[in-house]
Amino acid sequence: MTQVVVIGGGVSGLASAYFLSEKINPAEITIIEAEDRFGGTIRGVDFGSRRVETGPDSFITRNPSAVEMASKLKLSDRLVSPATSSAFIYSRSRLHRIPAGTVFGAPSDFKKFFGNSLISRAGQLRASLELLMRKATVEGDTTVGSFAQKRWGKEVTERLIDPLVGGIHAGSVHQLSLAQCAPQYLKAAESNRSVSIGLKSQTANYTSSGHPAFYSFASGLSELVNALVELLTKRNVKMIADTKAIEILPGAAGYSVVTDSRTFEAEGVICATPAYITAGLVKPFSSSAAALLSTVEYASPIMTLLAYEDEAFSEPPEGSGILVPRPNKTLATAITFATNKWPTWKTDGETLLRISTGRVGDNKAWEFDDELLVAGLEAEMKDVLGVRARSVRQNVTRWDRRIPQFKPFHSQLVHRIREELPPGVELAGAPFLGVGIPACISSGSLAAERLTKGRIKPC
């Protein structure tokens, strides 16, 4: 008998199954994954003599879900933090250190902020006027860009806040929800007349958890996936890959999950799939939920790995990498100095770059095949970093429609979607709680909790 079918074997689906297996008989849980592997966007490739990530390379610790999961899986001693976190922004054909005295890109300490090379003197003075403004009021929700531009001006928004906040989502701050994507700003606005002063107070009152801001695992994020798969298999959860779910129908036990090879009967279903896939799954019994799910837009990033001989650089790259604002009109949106950030990835005599391309409103990278994309990026690395030779090894991984965009009132949209779904059908994943591994784990926990409190009875 199957009590629950989890559709989607990424981190959200694996986490959903993990938390379900703590509440019901694990042998009555089935995970269905369309690809021939589990892990979703967590994917490592053999690159030279090292295993290198082609999706996310770390997770944030502010949400403790991933750190707690590592502990449950006995992986705590495998956690590693980046060797460096200092970064640059490429603007006006040169590199600039990310200005000091900022929180999530927004000026918070003008004594430290003044004199930076990224923002012009006029732009810095405009930003400082925020200290004299009336208390910010936000009715309902707005975009990060609209809020930031009113408070700190256009230059700070475009050159600093957009590459930082927008870069996380491969989107634009002029489309992203303030409440969902920059809650720090809202919290600061609520606590102080000046948002900048409120942000400074946040950092002063911040109590460290004892963990660094970011973590990965000694052999990469796949350690988390492999440990979850191994544990779930030991618990007798059925793990079925290379099987595509097509639709969910009312069934004898509650629901019938129709796939391209067979049909599964279950009392409950968790959809841990992208919103556009979930829309097709639930359409047979809720066209209204399907229509709402279809409104969630996605970005399609591409991750390109380029390995260079160390001698190709006139000076070794410094720090963890570079963010590239939209006005530069480059293919690259961000460049990670991967072997600086993760020294264990280094092969003797080589420097590895992870280069992100593609974001909402800028998909020109998708117009090139892999060979032309690599050539274009190599030309940009010559301009940005002064690289004097071609790369010696390349890998291109395309992530079509993988990063959801949280537009204003996104949380209300998710609430409306849930209201249109019948008991026994739950949602998990990035579109519903937030991007990043900890948010996906949290969404899996919440989905399992809702399901077992509703239709499914714990053992």
Is residue 208 very low, low, confident or very high in pLDDT (cuts 50, 70, 90)?
low
Q: Where are the alpha helices (DSSP H) in 129-182?
A: 144-152, 154-156, 167-169, 178-181
Residue 2, pLDDT above cutoff 90: no
Domain presence at residue 94: no
Q: Are residues 289 and 347 in the same domain?
A: no
CATH number, domain at 411?
Answer: 3.50.50.60
Q: Residue 62 domain-assigned?
A: no
Percentage of residues of the chain with pLDDT beyond 70: 97
Confidence of residue 457 (pLDDT cuts 50, 70, 90): low
Q: φ, ψ for residue 323 (rounded to 5)?
A: -100, 145
Query: Is 57 part of a structural domain of the chain?
Result: no
Indicate if 286 and 336 belong to the same structural domain.
Answer: no
Q: What is the pTM of this model?
A: 0.94
- Note whether 270 and 410 are same-domain residues: yes
> 197 and 111, same structural domain?
yes
Q: Is residue 338 part of a domain?
A: yes
386 and 439 co-located in one domain:
no
The confidence score (pLDDT) of residue 10 equals 97
Region 389-406: mean pLDDT is 97
What CATH number is associated with residue 359? 3.90.660.20
In the predicted model, is pLDDT for residue 40 greater than 90?
yes
pLDDT for position 206: 55
Beta-carbon neighbour count of residue 81 at 10 Å?
15
Asked whether residue 60 is assigned to any structural domain, the reply reads no
152 and 293 share a domain?
Answer: no
Residue 210: pLDDT band (50, 70, 90) is: confident
Model pLDDT for residues 219-265, shown as the tens digit of each residue: 999 999 999 999 999 999 999 999 999 999 998 889 999 999 999 99
**CB-based contacts of 335, cutoff 8 Å, min separation 6:** 321, 322, 324, 353, 354, 355, 356, 381, 384, 385
Confidence of residue 1 (pLDDT cuts 50, 70, 90): low
302, amino acid identity = I
Q: Are residues 328 and 245 in the same domain?
A: no
Residues 6+ apart with CB under 8 A from 348: none
- The reported pLDDT for the residue numbered 436 is 94
Residue ending a domain, choose from 175, 204, 233: 204
Are 159 and 194 in the same domain?
Answer: yes
Q: What is the mean pLDDT of the chain?
A: 94
Among 398, 425, 442, which residue terminates a domain?
Answer: 398
Q: Is the same domain home to 173 and 250?
A: no
Average pLDDT for 169-176 = 96
Residues 420 and 282 in one domain: yes
Domain span at 428: 4-40+224-297+406-453
pLDDT above 90: residue 453: no
> For the chain, what is the domain count?
3
Domain assignment of residue 210, yes or no: no
Same-domain status, 198 and 339: no
Query: Looking at residue 209, what is its pLDDT?
Result: 64
In the three-class reduction of DSSP (H, G, I as helix; E, B as strand; rest coil), residue 44 is classed as strand
Q: What is the pLDDT of residues 257-302, one digit of tens each?
A: 999 999 999 999 999 999 999 999 999 999 999 999 999 999 999 9
Task: Give a yes or no: residue 115 inside a domain.
Answer: yes
Q: Report pLDDT for 203.
A: 75
Of 252, 384, 261, 372, the residue nearest 313 (C-alpha) = 384
Q: 61 pLDDT exceeds 60?
A: yes
Last residue in a domain, options 149, 170, 204: 204
Find the DSSP H helices in 263-348.
275-282, 287-293, 338-341
Q: Are residues 10 and 25 in the same domain?
A: yes
Could you tell me if residue 148 is inside a domain? yes
